[in-house]
Amino acid sequence: MLSTQINRTTILDHIQTAAANNQKLLAVLIDPDKVDVEDVVSIAAKIKHLTPDYVFVGGSTVEEGATDSFVGAFKTYCDIPVVLFPGCESQITHKADALLFLSLLSGRNPEYLIEQQLRAVKKLEDSALEVIPTGYVLVDGGNTSSVQRVSKTTPIAQHALETIVTTAKAGEYMGKQLIYLEAGSGAHIPVHSEIVKAVKRALQIPLIVGGGLRSKEQINDAYENGADLVVVGTAFEQNINFNETHG
């Protein structure tokens, strides 16, 4: 669990230090379009019970203002740091603690490589949000994910190991501080362990893994193969308990 020391350091510092010390981190992903603000008290209580290090908030398609409303309400009841995982610039809210400044490196659509990022700059210039440059690599999770539909890009096939590793490494060379390997929300197949292992070996920066992780065994497998931070979304919605999966 994230200690109060985070108040004296940045979230990126915390992730980097945890990775260097082989301390595994957990984030719960909340899509504001899938929850009601009226349920925020029960959601906050459930999240506190799971003791994640972070709460990620975002989705591929989120109604205007939904992220701001949810984050504002959530932080009234829970002090776990909120990190934005935005699908577009309209999901930025200054009520959060940090933002993953994402570039969809696995796609070739300029809208998600640079255009959304350009539109975000004015919102971030005078913000207290911690902005964390993050390379986002989408791999095939066995279904058509919302990221794929919205971005109009094709995920990298899981058998294309060299392409996945090269894409992640290119992100590091571009100056990204984190790499996020994602199989997509609700993925039928999580990122294969050999992919996680190979990408981690190639990187000098922390690795986030998410998408399709529905059991403690799958999460522990991701940790054992090099994930520094694991993200669960659908599994959290399905009330699976992950208390013993990290630390």
- 218 and 228 Cβ atoms separated by less than 8 Å: no
- Which residues of the chain have a pLDDT value below 50? 1-7, 244-245
Domains assigned to the chain: 8-237 (3.20.20.390)
pLDDT at 6: 44
84 CA to centre of own chain: 8
pLDDT at 246: 57
pLDDT at 242: 55
pTM tops 0.85, yes or no: yes
pLDDT at 197: 98
pLDDT at 241: 58
pLDDT at 4: 40
pLDDT in tens, 207-243: 999 999 989 999 999 999 999 999 998 667 666 555 5
d(CA 177, CA 132): 7
Q: What are phi and psi of 141, to 5 degrees?
A: -100, 15
pLDDT at 59: 87
pLDDT at 130: 98
pLDDT in tens, 234-245: 667 666 555 544
pLDDT at 1: 42
